[in-house]
Structure 1
Amino acid sequence: MIPTERPWYAERVPLGRSGVTVSRIGLGTAPLGGLYSAVGGRQAAGTLDAAWRAGIRYFDTAPHYGAGLAEQRLGAFLTGAGHPRAECTVSTKVGRLLVPGASAPGDEAFHGDPGLVRVRDYSAEGVYRSLAESLERSGLDAFDVVLIHDPDEHWEEAVTGAYPALARLRDEGAVRAIGAGMNQTGILTRFVTETDLDCVLVAGRYSLLDHSAADELLPACADRGVGVLVGGVFNSGILANLAPDAMYDYAPAPQEVLHHALALGERCAEYGVPLAAAALRFPLRHPAVTGVVVGARSAQEVTVNVAHTSATIPEELWAELDALERDRR
């Protein structure tokens, strides 16, 4: 019998004040662009198909992911039969143009198509060019959400160039929502308080290992009605595959981080809860968080992530995990 009700993670919820909705769990496509290791085309298509069949209807991509490879693969999937575009929400990013140049597999941690290099450009002209190229690359006729990507050292250009350009595109109806996506909270908080963004995507800064987004960013988003998408819930893998050689924030995990992750894992094991399940569910406890974006490189990883959504996590465990964080601070 085909279930008539959506699982909770497939529920469509409003993204801030934008009118856009996303599923509570979204699929991040960085792994499909070859993050850390290459992913074949058939495997990438199987990953996307598994997410769709599971009810996931929010997909996040970027030119950065595999130098355009992730956008190509996502677009080919969504323009194929059986995937009505109106049923899903898609975000991409601006801030890195792709230009011909000498590159090699593994550049910037991605094993995507060689022959293209990334050039930072947060100007208005760069935004228009980047978005046009993303549309051509993906074969999509529009993106629902466009995010300014990693403007860490480029605040002035991003706020005076990229942001007004995206606001203009939003006013014209070319995109439905605009935001910024980063691995830090300081500049995201400035965007929220100094501009009129619809949403933010904060990666790695609201997880079981790092609660820093709760200090200023999440309260600011709640005050201004800005949607919050949380990525990097596994902090580059350590919370999904706890091992001595685990990765944390795209690099080998420091010993202090590894020890804290082990302590978290021990608490979860006492309750029979996989650490990865707690990591996936943790951000959604905060009322300001709209949804979680989880990357996957195979259909099996999608299946495992979806299984984690059904784990029963008692309040007593959350209390113990919160206490560990307080003691750490």
Structure 2
Amino acid sequence: MSELSVGCAQLGNLYREVSDGDSLATVERAWLLGVRTFDTAPHYGLGLSERRLGAALRSRPRHEYVVSSKVGRLLEPVDRTAGLDDEGFVVPATHRRVFDFSPEGILRSLTGSLERLGLDRLDLVYLHDPDDYMAAALATGYPTLAKLRKEGVVRAIGAGMNNAALLARLVRETDIDVVMLAGRYTLLEQESLDDLLPLCVERGVDIVAAGVFNSGLLAQPQPRPDAKYNYSDAPPELVQRAQAIAAVCKRHGTSLPAAALAFPLAHPAIVSVCVGARSAAQIERNVALYAEPIATDLWEELKAERLLREDAPVPGSDHARP
């Protein structure tokens, strides 16, 4: 995995339409700038994200990139298309999503993903948001993925969700390789230091950190009062906290988004930060943020001001990932 990976939900028209040309340009610019890891899912635009990503990668050598997708939501055709999708993607509602972690459901989901991507294998497959289906995820979902891993159909398996406690349960009770942790280890949230992160270090499970901007609150150098936090309006106290962190960043010659991107990668368990993009310009911005040098005393001041947990590994510290 590349340390910076591309989340492809926007290629599925998340919140607004993206043209085929912009989708292709997004992936091509990521490639030219050295990014080689791409994450998608059937959920994203009812398969549109997978189709666009597969088309954009079709001419690239298969051994040079990593693609992850997800299982758990089957796409079932509907008799009559009625308007647009109602889960945040601007696409015709040609299918409905059905949660299914049974062996048959996972095989159907995986087969559909491979067809849409135009690939003969996936590098990494996640159980997608099994929050309300943990019994099925443990009883049938994980064993099915483990069997596919053993057979070489997929190279690595894991789970992705925004619930650190449930991910910790999966790490304890299974032999998964990777977890995608969305929004729960950021400059604003470090509670997963108490459980999931040390557990992953202990068991040798890698973490991909997603949602590092907390849905937008940390995405701009100066957080706006109307910013989103975890897909909803940000509470005033969190806006104030983000603004205080931004002020420290400014004093040390960096930006809040650059610090938000750099922070998770210091933890020994985190191997990649997954950031979405819908255009070549956004890819360029994300790569520039990733490459931005950050003064080590920034982290010292954040801890001194109690804006960051004292035990959080930071870039350049003794406990940071090499």
TM-score by length of structure 2 reads 0.91
Residue from 173, 177, 180 that aligns with 2:159: 180
Residue from 48, 60, 73 that aligns with 1:96: 73
Shift of 1:32: 1.2
CA contact (8 A) 1:103 1:116 kept: no
Output the CA distance in 2 between the equivalents of 1:87 and 1:41.
Answer: 23
Residue from 265, 289, 292 that aligns with 1:308: 289
Output the CA distance in 2 between the equivalents of 1:178 and 1:205.
Answer: 20
SS in 2 for 1:110: coil
Residue from 275, 278, 284 that aligns with 2:265: 284
SS in 1 for 2:52: helix
Q: In the superposition, relative to structure 1, how do residues 257 and 202 fare at CA in structure 2: closer, same or farther (>3 Å)?
A: same
Counterpart of 2:308? 325
2:182 is aligned with 1:203 = yes
* Amino acid of the structure 2 residue aligned with 1:119: V
Shift of 1:36: 1.8
Output the CA distance in 2 between the equivalents of 1:261 and 1:110.
Answer: 28
Counterpart of 1:144? 123
Q: Deviations over 1:93-112 (max 9, x none)?
A: 00101112355435211223
SS in 1 for 2:87: helix
Q: In the superposition, relative to structure 1, how do residues 117 and 210 fare at CA in structure 2: closer, same or farther (>3 Å)?
A: same
Q: In the superposition, relative to structure 1, how do residues 41 and 168 fare at CA in structure 2: closer, same or farther (>3 Å)?
A: same
CA contact (8 A) 1:96 1:118 kept: yes
Q: Deviations over 1:154-178 (max 9, x none)?
A: 0001111110000000011100000
Identity %: 51
Counterpart of 2:225? 244
Q: Deviations over 1:208-242 (max 9, x none)?
A: 11112221101010001111110111111111132
Output the CA distance in 1 between the equivalents of 2:89 and 2:182.
Answer: 17
Counterpart of 1:14? none
Output the CA distance in 2 between the equivalents of 1:212 and 1:145.
Answer: 26
SS in 1 for 2:53: helix
Output the CA distance in 2 between the equivalents of 1:37 and 1:106.
Answer: 12
* Amino acid of the structure 1 residue aligned with 2:75: L
* Amino acid of the structure 2 residue aligned with 1:320: E
Q: Deviations over 1:112-140 (max 9, x none)?
A: 34311111111111100000011111111
Counterpart of 1:87? 64
* Amino acid of the structure 2 residue aligned with 1:262: Q
* 1:108-127 matched pairs, under 5 angstroms: 108-127=87-106
CA contact (8 A) 2:13 2:90 kept: yes
Q: Deviations over 1:47-74 (max 9, x none)?
A: 1111111100010000111111110100
CA contact (8 A) 1:230 1:289 kept: yes
Output the CA distance in 2 between the equivalents of 1:290 and 1:171.
Answer: 23
More off after superposition, 184-193 vs 104-113 = 104-113
Unmatched 5+ stretches in structure 2? 311-322
Counterpart of 1:47? 26
Counterpart of 2:56? 77
Give the count of matched residue pairs: 304
Output the CA distance in 2 between the equivalents of 1:36 and 1:184.
Answer: 23
CA contact (8 A) 1:47 1:299 kept: yes
* Amino acid of the structure 2 residue aligned with 1:285: A
Output the CA distance in 2 between the equivalents of 1:40 and 1:251.
Answer: 26
Q: Deviations over 1:274-299 (max 9, x none)?
A: 11000011101111111111111111
CA contact (8 A) 2:178 2:207 kept: yes
* 1:123-134 matched pairs, under 5 angstroms: 123-134=102-113
Output the CA distance in 1 between the equivalents of 2:255 and 2:97.
Answer: 38
Output the CA distance in 1 between the equivalents of 2:261 and 2:309.
Answer: 20
Output the CA distance in 2 between the equivalents of 1:112 and 1:208.
Answer: 33
Q: In the superposition, relative to structure 1, how do residues 103 and 226 fare at CA in structure 2: closer, same or farther (>3 Å)?
A: farther
2:7 is aligned with 1:24 = no
Over the residues paired in the alignment, what is the CA RMSD in angstroms?
1.3
More off after superposition, 28-37 vs 159-168 = 28-37
Counterpart of 1:296? 277
Counterpart of 2:314? none
Output the CA distance in 2 between the equivalents of 1:104 and 1:237.
Answer: 28
CA contact (8 A) 2:53 2:117 kept: yes
Q: In the superposition, relative to structure 1, how do residues 225 and 315 fare at CA in structure 2: closer, same or farther (>3 Å)?
A: same
2:197 is aligned with 1:214 = no
More off after superposition, 312-321 vs 91-100 = 312-321
Output the CA distance in 1 between the equivalents of 2:191 and 2:86.
Answer: 29
Output the CA distance in 2 between the equivalents of 1:67 and 1:269.
Answer: 41
Q: Deviations over 1:17-51 (max 9, x none)?
A: xxxxx111110101111122121111111111111
